[in-house]
Chains A and B, each alone.
Chain A
Amino acid sequence: MTVLIEAVGLHKRFGDIKAVNGISLKVAKGEVLGFLGPNGAGKSTTMKMITGFLEPDAGLASICGIDVFKEPKNAKAKFGYVPEGAPSYGEMTTRAFLSFIAEIRGYRGAAIVSRVANAVERAGLGPVLDQVIDTLSKGYKRRVGLAQAILHDPPVLIMDEPTDGLDPNQKHHVRNLITDMAADKAIIISTHILEEVEAVCSRAVVINKGVIVADGTADDLLQRMHYHGAVSLKVVADRADAAIRALTNAAAIASVETLGKPNGHLLLRAIPHQKTMTAAEVAAVLRAQNIPVDELYVERGRLDDVFRKITMPEEGDSNA
């Protein structure tokens, strides 16, 4: 496992506000790290420090083992960065802009042409190659920003909300692009779209108020909800009491919650002792008592709820 991105104890304050308060992380080759957090949590500030745009008050950042602040030029050659909003020079055409980036990245002559062609193909920019960037749709502008970052095929990619404001098809395209590149790169994407974490990320880090509050796979995060792995079911209201009694007595089940009473039915949620109960076991318990079950499914938990629980602990998961 080669660690390509490393941040150690990054601190940054703006006036009285501690924007980033001691963030450390490592991203290895092949990993796609989802960087989550509410707006203002310090996601962008952290990325700006990792890319060397912002000098931290304390802490280190390195890309491929090269210190970003001691050898900025060498480190910057190793990554592609899509800043927030994917900015580009609006008065240029797509081709002119990408050629400029290629030239700055040290390519000359035919290499510029082939690099640009490659990036254009991967980002799907063919139809707008000779259009002025200012006249492009938001989706294409985003892709220009993306093409710029992958042009030199860097081992590290850092993207600040790459799919923000795109339509579902465009999001899908960008995610596919990220997934395709994931194997031989280390990638950080910041987002507050949680479905994205499940779609593309191999790991998620949640930050809040400048500190890391959770670090794990999407599944790890989901398990933080007490009802992860719980079985929800719907029974006829007449047999509700019997159902609750049967479930409460079952060995595998820790507790039973009543969720609601939609038109003559009762919604129940059985919470297991260990997160290893199967829906079949619950069904068997009820069938033994001859209680008909209308609906039955295993709760996975929703990342939205996890996110809220982690970033707003005072609210907890009381309403989950």
Chain B
Amino acid sequence: MRSTWDNAWTIAKRELRAYFATPLALVFLTVFVALTGALTFYIGQFFDRGQADLFPFFAYHPWLYLLLVPAVAMRLWAEERKSGTIELLMTLPITPFEAILGKFLAAWAFIGLALILTFPIWITVNVLGSPDNGVIFSSYLGSFLMAGAFLAIGSFVATLTKNQVIAFIVASLICFLFTMSGLDLVQNSLRAWTPAVFSSAISSMSFLSHFQRITRGVLDLPTLIFFFSMIVFWLFATVIAIDQKKAQ
């Protein structure tokens, strides 16, 4: 177990350094911070609401992740395949799981950094009023967990195809389904022809419902377990997929 973490950590460090070797990382961070700001103030009507909370800020996170997280995930394996380093990596004394975990942690930390960089909005709302910082903190945590779940899905899809564009689109699509499954749009059409158990099962898989509970201030165990088990499930799916597909 010790060596699993050591190896994953070594890989994660290398990956993170590789992110910042090109200006792409800075572009991504800038876009993320700029978009969260724009959505909060212009579309979320942050000022007009007249409330000291970050609800309009967090409300757009699932939709933003839908585009930005698959963009991070799609390159997890593509570069390794293109340059042939996957053959080097997979013949080093590490398990595929350690490599996948390392890469996942690096990408997750990168998105975490993007989240941290939105701190000015937290300062703003604290200057303007006295918000419930507990809720804001747990919302940040929930947002980070949701990003991890999106990322794990993207990591799985990225191992299936060499083509980054396909990886991006397919990952976005799957993430979209997981996000939407709790909405009435989907639920109404399901309820019409499936037993209630089924539609509520689908509903309980919704990222959106879980995340909304957190932003309303309810950070309970089932939600935490949901996001963590999502991450674990998709990472193990990635392990199986990479074993099958690494040589192609």
Contact = CB atoms under 8 A, between A and B. Distances in A.
A, B from the same assembly: yes
Interface of A: 48, 51-55, 72-74, 76-77, 81, 83-85, 87-92, 96, 100-101, 103-106, 148
Interface string B82-98: 01110110111111000
B247 interface: yes
B14 A83 contact: no
Contact of B247 (A54, A72, A81): A54
Contacts of A92: 14, 17-18, 21
B65 to A, nearest CB: 26
B14 A89 contact: yes
B92 to A, nearest CB: 5
Contacts of B83: 87, 89-90
B181 interface: no
B16 to A, nearest CB: 12
A81 B88 CA distance: 7
B84 A85 contact: yes
Interface string B227-248: 0000000000000000100110
B179 interface: no
Interface string B48-92: 000000000000000000000000000000000001110110111
Given A76-B92, A106-B3, 17 more contacts: A51-B91, A54-B247, A72-B95, A73-B94, A76-B93, A76-B94, A81-B87, A83-B88, A83-B91, A84-B87, A88-B88, A90-B83, A91-B22, A92-B17, A103-B10, A105-B93, A148-B88
B199 interface: no
Contacts of A74: 93
Given A85-B84, A91-B21, A100 B14 contact: yes
Interface of B: 3, 7, 10-11, 14, 17-18, 21-22, 83-85, 87-88, 90-95, 243, 246-247
9 contacts: A48-B247, A53-B246, A55-B243, A73-B93, A74-B93, A77-B93, A87-B84, A87-B88, A104-B93
A104 B92 contact: yes
A163 to B, nearest CB: 17
B94 A88 contact: no
A126 to B, nearest CB: 23
Nearest to B3: A106
A103 B10 CA distance: 7
Contacts of B87: 48, 53, 81, 83-84, 87
Given A53-B247, A87-B84, A89-B18, A104 B90 contact: no
Contacts of A89: 14, 18, 83, 85
B204 to A, nearest CB: 38
A73 B91 contact: no
B38 to A, nearest CB: 31
A104 B93 CA distance: 7
Contacts of A103: 10
B196 to A, nearest CB: 45
- Chain A CB within 10 Å — which of B3, B18, B84, B88 has the most? B88
Contact of B84 (A54, A84, A96): A84
